[in-house]
Amino acid sequence: MAGKWYEIVTGSLEQKKQYKQAKARIEALPEPYAAVAKAVERYLAYAGGVVDGGTLVAMHSDLADLWERAAADGTPVRDVVGDDPAAFAEEFAAAYSGKQWIDKERARLAKVVEDAEREQES
C-alpha cells in the first residue's frame, strides 16, 4: 500500500527505473556519440515539452537505441542529426504524442477566448 501511495505522489517507479536505464545506456556510449546523444537529450528536455512519463520513457529509450545503433554501425554523427541538429531533435520529439506542458496553456487560452466571446454576445 505504501508503494501505491508513493507512486501517486511521485509517479511510476517502473517508469523511473526505465528512464534511468535509458540514461545509463546513453552514458555508456563511446565518444563522440555519447556527447551528441547527451546534447540531444538536453535539448529535448527544454524543447520537447513532454510531461507524460510513459512518453518520456519511450522517447529516451528510442534515443538510446538510435545512438547505440549508430555507434555500432560507425555512422557519422552528422549523418544522424543532419545539417540542423535542432531541427533533428524537434522532429524526433514530434514523433512522440503525449501530454506536453503547452497543452494546458493552449486549453487555457482557448477557454479565455470562448468566455470572452460569450460575454460579448450577451
3 or 48, which is more confident: 48
> pLDDT tens digits for 58-117?
999 999 999 999 999 999 999 999 999 999 998 998 888 666 667 778 888 889 999 888
Enter the C-alpha cell of residue 97. Answer: 504524442
> pLDDT tens digits for 25-49?
999 999 999 999 999 999 988 887 7
Can you identify the CATH homologous superfamily of domain 2-121?
Answer: c-terminal domain of poly(a) binding protein (1.10.1900.10)
pLDDT for 86 = 93
Residue 20 has pLDDT above 80, yes or no: yes
Residue 51 has pLDDT above 70, yes or no: no
Enter the C-alpha cell of residue 69. Answer: 545503433
Enter the C-alpha cell of residue 52. Answer: 507524460
pLDDT for 5 = 59
Residue 1 has pLDDT above 60, yes or no: no
pLDDT for 56 = 86
pLDDT for 7 = 54
121 or 9, which is more confident: 121
Distance CA 54, CA 83 (A): 30
Of 50, 36, 51, give the one whose Cα is nearest residue 88: 36
Is residue 63 within 8 Å of residue 38, measured between CB atoms? no
